Amino acid sequence: MFPSDVSLRDDPLSDPFGERLRPAICMSRQVLGARFRFESDSIAFLELVEAAYGSLPAQRFPGLSPEFHIELRVVPREAAADVTEPPPVRMQGGRGLLCGVVDASNYMVLAPAQRRGLIVVSEDMLAFRYHVRYELLEFAVFLLAPRVLNLVPLHGACIGRDGLGVLLLGPSGAGKSTLTLQGLVDGMDLLAEDSVFAHPESLLATGVPNFLHVKEDTLRFVDDPAVREWIRKSPVIHRRSGVAKYEADLRERDASCAKAPLRLAATVFVSGESAHGPDDLLAPVPWEFVAPMLSADQPYASGHAGWDRFVQRIRRGGVYRLRRAPHPRDAIRAVGGLLDRARPAG
How confident is the model over 309-316, as a mean pLDDT?
96
pLDDT for 1: 47
pLDDT for 79: 65
Residue type, 67: E
Q: Is 193's pLDDT higher than 70?
A: yes
Nearest to 323 by CA among 267, 279, 286: 279
Distance, in Å, from the CA atom of 261 to the CA atom of 136, rounded to the nearest integer, reads 24
pLDDT for 80: 63
How confident is the model over 204-209, as a mean pLDDT?
96
The CB-side HSE value for 66 (13 A sphere, CA atoms) comes to 16
pLDDT tens-digit map of 94-126:
999 999 999 999 999 999 999 999 999 999 999
Express the helix, strand and coil content of the chain in percent, nearest 5 each: 30, 30, 35
Burial of residue 192 (number of CB atoms within 10 Å: 0-12, 13-18, 19+):
buried
Average pLDDT value over all residues in the chain: 91
Q: Label residues 301-335 b or e (16+ Cβ within 10 Å = b).
A: bbebebbeebbebbeebbbbbbbbbeebeebbbbb
Domains along the chain with CATH numbers: 25-149 (no CATH), 153-209+254-342 (3.90.228.20)
With beta carbons less than 8 A apart as the criterion, state whether 133 and 211 touch. no
* Percent of the chain topping pLDDT 70: 94
Distance, in Å, from the CA atom of 245 to the CA atom of 306, rounded to the nearest integer, reads 34
pLDDT tens-digit map of 235-276:
999 998 889 999 999 998 876 899 999 999 999 999 988 888
How confident is the model over 196-204, as a mean pLDDT?
97
The region of weakest confidence among 5-19, 25-39, 130-144 is 5-19
How confident is the model over 273-296, as a mean pLDDT?
92
pLDDT for 278: 81
pLDDT for 23: 62
With beta carbons less than 8 A apart as the criterion, state whether 140 and 117 touch. yes
Q: Is 22's pLDDT higher than 80?
A: no
Of residues 280 and 150, the one with the higher pLDDT is 150
Residue type, 152: V
pLDDT for 314: 96
pLDDT for 3: 45
The CB-side HSE value for 242 (13 A sphere, CA atoms) comes to 0
pLDDT tens-digit map of 136-182:
999 999 999 999 999 999 999 999 999 999 999 998 888 899 999 99
pLDDT for 7: 45
The region of weakest confidence among 19-28, 38-47, 283-292, 321-330 is 19-28
What CA–CA distances, in Å, run from 243 to 89, 138, 330? 18, 20, 26
Q: Is 344's pLDDT higher than 90?
A: no
Residues 6 or more apart from 210 whose CB is under 8 A from it? 52, 53, 56, 249, 250, 251
* Percent of the chain topping pLDDT 90: 78
Q: Is 5's pLDDT higher than 80?
A: no
With beta carbons less than 8 A apart as the criterion, state whether 144 and 37 touch. no
pLDDT for 6: 42
With beta carbons less than 8 A apart as the criterion, state whether 138 and 170 touch. no
